[in-house]
């Protein structure tokens, strides 16, 4: 898909994604992003399955912040919390030479984390 340079939601890509699956988004040519915004549909239900998103990055990051519902979600919540307690924004950031990935969970359990 071609790059869309502006943060204009009316000119954004819409991608259908099924719950209960893992999706890995790989940026061509090692393209790094400094900011990424995802919008969860208001149709999510607390009973919907988790959605696991994985994003690669190339440059070493001093800090990666995942913000959901205005709250900064601490790193490693995706591996420190039991899966049954995962909420939107729970994440783990692997910032090592061999693996540079951001893993984020999305679900409908906490409506304040849209």
pLDDT at 47: 92
pLDDT at 75: 96
pLDDT at 16: 81
pLDDT, block means (10 residues), the chain with 114 residues: 63 80 81 78 88 89 89 96 95 91 92 82
Distance CA 27, CA 109 (A): 29
Record the pTM: 0.84
For residue 101, give every residue at least 6 positions away whose Cβ sits within 8 Å of its Cβ, in sequence order, or none: 54, 55, 56, 57, 93, 94
């Amino acid at each position: 898909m071609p790059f869309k340079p502006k943060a204009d939601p009316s000119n954004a890509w819409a991608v259908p994604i099924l719950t209960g699956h893992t999706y890995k988004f790989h940026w061509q040519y090692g393209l790094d992003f400094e900011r990424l915004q995802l919008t969860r549909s208001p149709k999510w239900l607390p009973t919907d399955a988790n959605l696991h998103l994985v994003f690669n990055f190339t440059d070493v990051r001093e800090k990666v912040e995942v913000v959901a519902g205005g709250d900064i979600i601490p790193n490693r919540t995706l591996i420190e919390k039991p899966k049954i307690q995962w909420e939107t924004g729970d994440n783990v950031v692997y910032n090592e030479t061999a693996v540079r990935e951001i893993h984020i969970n999305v679900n409908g359990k906490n409506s304040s984390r849209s």
